[in-house]
Structure 1
Amino acid sequence: MPMSATSYINGLGRYVPPRAVSNADLEKLVDTSDEWITARTGIKVRHIAEKGQPSSDLAYEASKRALEHAGIEPGELTHVLVATCTPDSYCPNTASMLAHRLGVGTPMAMDINAACTGFLYSLEIARSLLCTYPDAKVLVTASEVLSSRTNWADRSTCVLFGDGAGAAVLTNKPTGELPFSVGPMQLRSDGQYADLLTIKGGGSATPYTLGETVREDFFITMEGREVFKQAVRNMASLCKELLEKAGMDINDVDLLVPHQANLRIIEALGNRLKIDRNKVFSNVQKYGNTSAASIPIALTEGIEQGILAKGDSVLVTSFGAGLTWGAGLLQA
């Protein structure tokens, strides 16, 4: 079977729910302030899904936009991947429901949970599928409704997260005005730090019994300071390793698109990599941390705003629960 060394992102799309929650809104819920949130996170607004609105709903909207951007009909898709740590349900998977709603037919469809690194993990899986099936057309969607697992009484976490989805369509042939070739990638995990960032309650290790009150472990819990250290250290190290293996240095990068978790993390990462601040993309102030969705949302915005141009070398990197982290190179 012929193999392809290069895969292409031919279409991108994004979607966030209309409802915007400002820092001033959060001041009414918990003991916090706009000044406190902005100084520590850089976040001003996050978008929140309506009650009962699932990840597949957001994924559907982002996917429609990505397919339109790629000029591909849903029925042409052969594989549907959804990166999420907030699936509609444990079973069935969100990807199957998304494929059905799009009218794809009967593709291979599966969810991937690598938390905030899920989109990069999914890109690597999509590339592998395209090597095995050269004529495949793969939809990669990252969708999160983190508000469904946010403890709105915990001021240390509730200010950080937002809901959203981003999607990409991959094939082995470049099409469209601005395809991205997917270059080398590096992906890592380390379970010894698993307890630093968790959503446990209801899982098989921490099940509920019928009628039991939902515990705090059902919601996002995080050791913020240690996560900060691990995130900056590991993303910076892996980016340097990736660039070295590619025969590049940071000066060859036209744009760094990091996971949009926290402006302090983004700035610290940029400083470690010694990259010009003007080359670091950030939209965390508008959306908060949308987990796996943050990088495809950022890439889509980069195109919409004209920040990404043909010929640009783009370094993407992410870090999340697991712990998981990754880095990859895209060429516009």
Structure 2
Amino acid sequence: MPRTSAIAAVGVHLPERVRTTDETEARLRRENPRAGLPVGLIRRMTGVERVHEREPGEQASDLAAHAARRALAASPEPVDLLVFASASQDLIEPATSHIVADSLGLDVPVFDVKNACNSVLNAVQVAHGLIASGQARRVLVASGETPTSAVRWQVADRHQFVRSFPGYTMSDAGAALVLEATEDDGRGVVDLAFSAASHHWRIGTLPTGGSMRPRDLDATYFDIDGRALQRAFLALGPDLVTGLLDRAGLTMEDLDLVLMHQVAQPHLAPIAERLGVAEGRIHETVVRHGNLASATLPVQLHQAQEAGLVGPGSTVLLVGLAGGISLGAAVVVL
């Protein structure tokens, strides 16, 4: 039986269409002329310069398939399982993984993993476990995020604008990872750790499609208390990350790079410090790409590889933050 799983390939699809923060604010003022919305607030509060928007008619499965084709081209051996991992989905039924598999022409078992912005990291956890136990040898994890469909452009008042605020910096994106069985050759997933503080689930919601509000049009928009979400993450503390590194026999100085989910640029430093992560080792993406939801970590890994920041043998820490709320971390040797 294999000792562990390793990342064989990464694929990314960032839509070419972009919406700048200036364009976002101009549209909000145009569609809400009497709301008195402040000018420049989104950029000042988040640091985000632009977000990606998928083409009209594109679905979450399309974005995932675009990225998956690139990952499979880089590592073309057959996969024996497809996991769709995203906060977004095409339909409630069937699982979006079926639609992705059909797009790719794959005839393999499929299922979805869903945990907000930690969906991909949790899918890596599942794929790693299946590979380590011998139930799979090569797993395709594919994500397609379409949060721009849940942006509220017409707000009733400033309170509703504030509750809708985090949605204005979210990006559409596709990402994919191929994980494969590997022998004890020094590369692969070293260890993972997860925790949750589920009493915070009400802080941020997108209720549409669920049993609570199945046909409520107002439920199709993000409703998030951004300040409360930041406080909740800061309250988590460093134990999960430091404990993971201790078990792996590593220190922060042993890491070549840290990949961390990013909601806003000003939040990076305080959250990193609270989690025990050296901010200077974090690969930043939020300014140029916005909040990429669960596609964040694969996009950061792909960019770091393309830029030569990491390569074979590099030790990388992945840190995931998600609504609900949950925290995840993984140490991987590339």
Q: Quick check: 1:65 aligned with 2:70?
A: yes
* Aligned residue in 2 for 1:45: 50
**Equivalent pair of 2:147/2:167 in contact (CA under 8 Å):** no
* Superposition deviation, residue 190 in structure 1: 2.8
Aligned counterparts of 1:7 and 1:36: Cα–Cα separation in 2:
44
Distance 1:279 1:143, change over 3 A: same
Q: 2:290 aligns with which of 288, 291, 298?
A: 288
Paired with 1:28 and 1:219, the residues of 2 have a C-alpha distance of 19
Separation of aligned partners in 2, 1:241 and 1:193: 23
AA in 2 matched with 1:94: T
| Alignment check: 8 A CA contact 1:187 1:327 kept | yes
Q: Work out the percentage of aligned pairs sharing the same amino acid.
A: 25
Is the Cα–Cα contact under 8 Å of residues 3 and 182 in structure 2 kept in the other structure? Answer: no
C-alpha root-mean-square deviation of aligned residues, in Å? 2.1
Amino acid at match of 2:328: G
* Contact 1:235–1:326 (8 Å) recurs in 2: no
* Aligned counterparts of 2:275 and 2:167: Cα–Cα separation in 1: 29
Equivalent residue number for residue 129 of structure 1? 130
Contact 1:134 / 1:172 at 8 angstroms: preserved in 2? Answer: no
Question: In the TM superposition, what whole-angstrom CA distance separates every residue of 1:103-126 from its partner, at most 9, and x where no partner exists?
Answer: 111x11111110001111000100
Aligned residues: 317
Aligned in 2, Cα 1:132/1:271: closer, same or farther, shift over 3 Å?
closer
Match of 1:92, SS state, is coil
Question: Which digits, 9 at most, give the CA deviation of each residue in 1:228-281, with x for residues without a partner?
Answer: 122234374321221122222222222111002221222223333565543111
Matches within 5 A, 1:239-258: 239-258=241-260
What residue is the counterpart of 1:214 in the other structure? 217
Task: State the alpha-carbon separation in 1 of the partners of residues 137 and 84 from structure 2.
Answer: 16
**Contact residue 236 and residue 275 of structure 2 kept, 8 A:** no
Q: Deviations over 1:118-165 (max 9, x none)?
A: 111000100111123366210011221001122233461332211001
1:18 is aligned to 2:20: no
> Which amino acid in structure 1 is aligned with residue 139 of structure 2?
V
Question: Against the structure 1 CA distance between its residues 318 and 83, is the aligned structure 2 distance closer, same or farther, given a 3 Å change threshold?
Answer: same
One-letter identity of the residue aligned with 1:244: D
Q: Any unmatched runs of 5+ in structure 1?
A: none
Q: Does 1:90 align with 2:92?
A: yes
Which amino acid is the alignment partner of residue 172 of structure 1? A
Report the equivalent of 1:261: 263
The amino acid that maps onto 1:319 is L
Q: Contact (CA 8 Å) 2:234, 2:271: kept in 1 or not?
A: yes
CA distance in 2, matches of 1:313, 1:152: 42
1:13 aligned counterpart, secondary structure: strand
Taking the aligned partners of 1:274 and 1:317, their CA distance within structure 2 comes to 11
Instruction: Report the Cα distance in structure 1 between the residues aligned to 2:82 and 2:276, rounded to whole angstroms.
Output: 37
SS in 2 for 1:230: helix
TM-score between the two structures when normalised by the length of structure 1:
0.89
Task: Please report how far the alpha carbon of residue 330 of structure 1 lies from its aligned counterpart in structure 2 after TM superposition.
Answer: 0.9
2:157 matched residue in structure 1: none
Q: What amino acid is the match of 2:72?
A: L
Aligned residue number for residue 184 of structure 1:
191
Question: 286-295 or 29-38: which moved more?
Answer: 29-38
* Structure 2: gaps of 5 or more residues: 30-36, 155-160
Which piece of structure 1 moves more, 9-18 or 142-151?
A: 142-151
Q: Runs of 4 or more off by more than 6 Å in structure 1? A: none
Alignment of 1:167-206 (within 5 A): 167-173=176-182, 181-206=188-213
The equivalences for 1:273-284 within 5 A come to 276-284=278-286
The answer to whether the 8 A contact 1:66-1:167 is kept is: yes
Kindly indicate whether the alpha-carbon contact (under 8 Å) linking 1:137 and 1:170 is maintained by their aligned counterparts in 2.
Answer: yes
Change (3 A) 1:61 1:173: same
Q: Which amino acid aligns with 1:116?
A: C
Which of residues 311, 314, 317 in structure 2 aligns to 1:312? 314
Match of 2:33 in 1: none
Q: How does 1:220-231 map to 2 (within 5 A)?
A: 220-231=222-233
Q: For residues 197 and 234 of structure 1, what CA distance do their matches in structure 2 show? A: 17
Query: Does the 8 Å contact 2:16/2:52 carry over to 1?
Result: yes
Q: Pairwise mapping of residues 124-163 of structure 1 onto structure 2 (< 5 A)?
A: 124-133=125-134, 136-153=137-154, 154=161, 156-163=165-172
Given candidates 28, 31, 42, the residue that maps to 1:30 is 28
Q: What TM-score, normalized to structure 2?
A: 0.88
Q: Distance in 1 between matches of 2:275 and 2:166?
A: 27
Call closer, same or farther: CA 1:34–1:12 in 2, change over 3 Å: farther
CA–CA distance in 1 between the matches of 2:253 and 2:149?
A: 41
Which sits farther off after the overlay, 45-54 or 162-171?
A: 45-54
Alignment-mate amino acid for residue 38 of structure 1: R
